[in-house]
Chain A
Amino acid sequence: MAGGEAAPAPDVEELVARLRKRVEDRRRSGAYLPELEQQMTAHFRRILNQRPDARPLPDVEAAVNAVREALPLQAARISMDSGIPGGQALHKAIGKVVSRQTHGTLQQVQGFAQHVQAALEALALAVVELSRTVQSDIGGSLDALYEQQAAQDRTMARLAGGGALLRASDFQPWYSSKHFEEAFRGTREEILERYRELAQRFAGLGPVLDIGCGRGEFLELLGELGVEATGLDFDGEMVKAASGRGLQVIDDEAIRYLSSLDNNSLGGVAMIQVVEHLSAQEIVDFVALAADKVRPGGKVFVETINPQSLYVFAHAFYLDPTHIRPVHPAYLAFLFREAGFVSVDIEWRSPPPADDVLEHAPEDSPAASVHNTNVQRLNELLFAPQDYLIAAVR
């Protein structure tokens, strides 16, 4: 382990580029099975999460070996030991006298034992093979069935919902939605600042779909990071404004658009302040579709108003007339977990301004401790963070 002189650094970046090109060429020429890596990943996930643990087989091989070691049967292996003085000589003498009979019996038993051994070996092989078939072939078929069933369940759920998901609203106000956004959502700069960190979490994960992209601030942030991103909004005015700034925005309904995509084709989905505009059916259908369309390892971020903070009902929630209902964080997290996302976290965002929160009494004032405990309880009930974010990894 001596330290040697360093050779010139191999240009690893150039090497990786060359290897990548080789992979692409092989893919194009059809050398690999289609979707091989996705299938392997899905298969491992099924093994890990769905398969009941295989029960270990009894040790058939050891039993067969024991039989093998017991053969051949030989007269010489019959013990002549005796506890009585002179007993051993007596045994030997009797042995000699009946040796012909002993030999004949042994031969017959030996013949029988050989058949039994052969049968046991064949059975042992059959059991091992059967177990392999059950675990591998039938396991594989079960996996395929699980997969089909899950896809059918999702389709049924979508059909039951009537397919009018994330549809264009019937509400047609005469005011400009752009003005509404500016008045109540904050300036473009404020929004950029607020979501910069979230956008960074999509780094390397394109393509990302931003559902309800509005003015397109989040798309801009993704663009700055070099993440391929498409926005979706059914508000024509918003789409026009965002497209005008060179962003890729599609005027479509989210479910229709999501359904048209290939499975595993997205690296991420962002849905910021949208879920509170949806019906219960629309929410469950969106989560199921996201599970289909986001590839393993991809991320889904859903930010919405936190109904566990009563403060939001005095401020943000009823400001927007198109809000339908706030969605409880535990319920939304449950939906993502049920849909098969591997990691689902809830993050709290936007604490109310410090000026609005109840103040504690000075520690030395009378009854400060009781008062402050009450203040704390009230603060937790009234002034919990105004938003939460579901961060889900597929």
Chain B
Amino acid sequence: MEIHQIVVSASPGDAVTNAALGFQRVLQRVSPSGLFARYIDPRLEGLVNPLSVYEACAEPEDLLIYHLSIGEPEVARFLLGRNGRLVLVYHNITPPKYFATLDPAFAALLTGGRSELALLRERVDMALAVSEYNARELLALGYRDVRVSPLPIDLAELHNVEPDCDVMAALEAIDAPIVLFVGQLLPHKRPDLVLQAYHILSTYLVPDAHLALVGKGRCDRYERAIQTLAKELTLRHARITGWVTAEQLAAYYRNAAVFVTMSEHEGVCVPLLEAMSFDVPVVARAFGAVPETMGGAGVLLPAEDDPMLVAEAVAEVITNETLRSELLPRGRARVAHVNAQTAYATFLGHLVDAVGVTVS
């Protein structure tokens, strides 16, 4: 028996691809194990192979592990037409409503993903959810054997890189608190609400506060609209960086006074953990997997749109030393047990337990 993994699209830095590459290293200790994708970034050629290559030499007794985060009819057709054993790793699917008018083609893929998730239920032997939140979704869909298997997250990596000198110098020169958001500039992450809250913060509460929105976009129109909003609210001390290197990201975490995300949909929310590992207190709203990721170690706001309340919370974290001194150790304790090795062991344990993978 061989164990192979399938992702819809593989690209460097993508969370799903990274998880699959990590799992591949573990699986290769147990059996021959390849990673196959429908779309492959040229930088990963050789490391990831086209799904068609697997289809040509597929064996019915192979165990396939499918990472689902978006729809792809061709992959779904292949998996549904096959009788062999199948394990699903569910990374969650962004609700299509956020892209309905902005990018209908993308919205259609997300909608397709939800249908495929329902269709695959009968074919899946075991479903692994990367968070409790994802697990609840699968159970609600009628999946039977659902287990939580955390993403392999290596927080140490970001601590081990040398922070980018230019960014460090620029941020250290700022003699004021820096509010940091890290995440893709996409509608469900609600960077517009972060800008609104920062407008309130810098107008009424902490006038010298700076803001950094760090992360890439994937929709030009939305990114431009966010930039225009920042300009028209005259947020002079807000910077929107676009994609950054790990070295630059480390520099931002090292200089941030508070991390804030207004995201409305998260299957995990890795930046929350990264921030806590850098002793940056976090403020977020109770959507999706955010509460469990935060694990009581930050300021969890209710799931409502109130930029005033967010601004007050951010101001409180910046100015209230007692609160900071309570939050920092909690953050550290929260991330102390987050590591890739534990995640690999859990993952392998589930495979051994549920689908009879043998570890020699």
Contacts and interface: CB of A to CB of B under 8 A. Distances in A.
A36 B222 CA distance: 22
Contacts, number: 117
A7 B232 contact: no
A1 B158 CA distance: 11
B232 A6 contact: no
A322 interface: no
B229 A44 contact: yes
Nearest to B233: A40
Interface residues of A, number: 45
A4 B329 contact: yes
B72 to A, nearest CB: 22
A72 B212 CA distance: 40
A373 to B, nearest CB: 21
A135 B227 CA distance: 12
Interface in A37-63: 37, 40-41, 43-44, 47-49, 51, 53-54
B304 interface: yes
B316 A19 contact: yes
A144 B301 CA distance: 33
Contact of B327 (A10, A19, A344, A345): A10
A53 B224 contact: yes
Contacts of B326: 7-10
Given A3-B337, A204-B303, A23 B308 contact: yes
A259 to B, nearest CB: 26
Nearest to A140: B232
Given A19-B309, A37-B196, A53-B221, A345 B333 contact: no
A26 to B, nearest CB: 7
Nearest to B296: A9
Interface of B: 97, 100-102, 155-156, 159, 192, 196, 199-200, 204, 221-222, 224-225, 228-229, 231-233, 277, 296, 299-309, 312-313, 316, 323, 325-327, 329-330, 332-333, 335-337
Interface of A: 1-10, 12, 15-16, 19-20, 22-23, 26-27, 31-32, 36-37, 40-41, 43-44, 47-49, 51, 53-54, 135-136, 139-140, 204, 296-297, 342-345, 393
29 contacts: A1-B155, A1-B159, A1-B277, A1-B332, A1-B335, A3-B333, A5-B329, A8-B326, A12-B299, A16-B300, A19-B312, A23-B309, A23-B312, A26-B308, A31-B204, A32-B200, A37-B196, A40-B199, A41-B196, A41-B305, A44-B225, A48-B222, A51-B228, A53-B221, A54-B224, A136-B231, A136-B232, A342-B100, A343-B97
